[in-house]
């Protein structure tokens, strides 16, 4: 997708192009590519495809009007997502520095208010992080905020020095691969592991200590991931 210039006023160039019938969706997709937001890309391409398929129908007018409304809506968030600054975050007292003199926020245990007002994240991303946590996922690195929760890279970079990743192992045992570090051979068998695999996992763990990751389990035991994938 070729690069489009951006005006320095309140309306980026892609916004004006998004108002064009049929092909305007390409501009929306470009905006999504620029801020690394896949949903925008798919919506933009969807507008183009729908317009072509229904070009002979009166519905195309509805698609065009929807496209215009979408462009106005997305424009409101484009600049803050493209170039987030201290002013673009709702948290008034955030200091984007090394974070040495600031108490870090634990991404796994903090409240939604901490995510929104402490880190300055838009509510939509705070909701995504909270949703992933409620499903039992425990974040262990800043990269996972993007890979797992879909947080745009520009926000990840801004909050990287302000956050930490700790977790309560006992709280996590029932919902993750870390059961391999705590369950007995009998418990692992009850979870669906073959007896030979369960014995090897426990034997290696007792001999050389807890596993550090799923890959560590595979490397140390030689047991394929497929044998315990249902525990992850």
Model pLDDT, residue 176 = 66
Structure tokens at 119: 């880190």
Percent of the chain with pLDDT over 70: 73
| Rounded CA separation 154/124 (Å) | 15
| Rounded CA separation 221/227 (Å) | 11
Least confident of 5-14, 113-122, 126-135, 186-195: 5-14
Please check the confidence at residue 163 and state whether its pLDDT lies above 60: yes
Strand 163-164 with 105-106, pairing: parallel
Percent of the chain with pLDDT over 90: 19
| Rounded CA separation 65/82 (Å) | 25
Mean pLDDT, rounded, of the chain:
75
Choice between 231 and 200, residue whose per-residue pLDDT is larger: 200
Model pLDDT, residue 77 = 65
CA 62, 63, 67, 73 dihedral sign is positive
What burial class does residue 131 get, using C-beta atoms within 10 Å of its C-beta: 0-12 exposed, 13-18 middle, 19+ buried? exposed
| Contact between 164 and 106 (Cβ < 8 Å) | yes
Model pLDDT, residue 158 = 92
Least confident of 17-26, 102-111, 196-205, 214-223: 17-26
Question: In 3D, which of 29, 31, 73, 78 has the Cα closest to residue 51?
Answer: 29
Model pLDDT, residue 172 = 53
Give, rounded to a whole angstrom, the gap between the first and last alpha carbons of the chain: 37
CA angle centred on 187, ends 181 and 188, rounded to 5°: 65
CA distances to 141, 176, 178, 203, 229 from 220, in Å: 23, 19, 15, 11, 16
Model pLDDT, residue 90 = 43
pLDDT in tens, 39-98: 777 777 777 777 777 666 677 677 777 777 777 777 666 655 555 443 444 443 433 334
Model pLDDT, residue 89 = 42
221 CB-near residues (< 8 Å, 6+ apart): 197, 200, 201, 204
């Amino acid at each position: 997708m070729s690069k489009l210039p951006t005006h320095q006023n309140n309306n980026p160039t892609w916004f004006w192009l998004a108002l064009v019938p049929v092909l305007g969706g390409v501009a929306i997709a470009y905006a999504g590519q620029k801020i690394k937001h896949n949903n925008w890309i798919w919506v933009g391409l969807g507008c183009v495809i729908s317009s072509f398929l229904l070009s002979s129908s009166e519905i195309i007018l509805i698609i065009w009007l929807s496209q215009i409304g979408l462009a106005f809506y997305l424009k409101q968030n484009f600049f803050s997502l493209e170039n987030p600054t201290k002013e673009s975050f709702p948290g008034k007292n955030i200091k984007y520095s090394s974070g040495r003199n600031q108490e870090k926020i634990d991404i796994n245990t903090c409240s939604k208010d901490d995510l929104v007002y402490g880190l300055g994240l838009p509510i939509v991303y705070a909701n995504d992080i909270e949703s992933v946590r409620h499903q039992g996922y425990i974040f262990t690195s800043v990269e996972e905020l993007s890979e797992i929760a879909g947080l745009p890279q520009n926000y990840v970079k801004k909050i990287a020095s302000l956050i930490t990743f700790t977790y309560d192992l006992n709280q996590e045992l029932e919902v993750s691969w870390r059961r391999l570090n705590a369950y007995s051979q009998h418990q692992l068998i009850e979870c669906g592991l073959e007896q030979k695999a369960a014995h090897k996992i426990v034997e290696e763990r007792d001999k050389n200590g807890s596993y550090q990751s799923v890959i560590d389990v595979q490397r140390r035991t030689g047991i394929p991931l497929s044998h315990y994938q249902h525990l992850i």
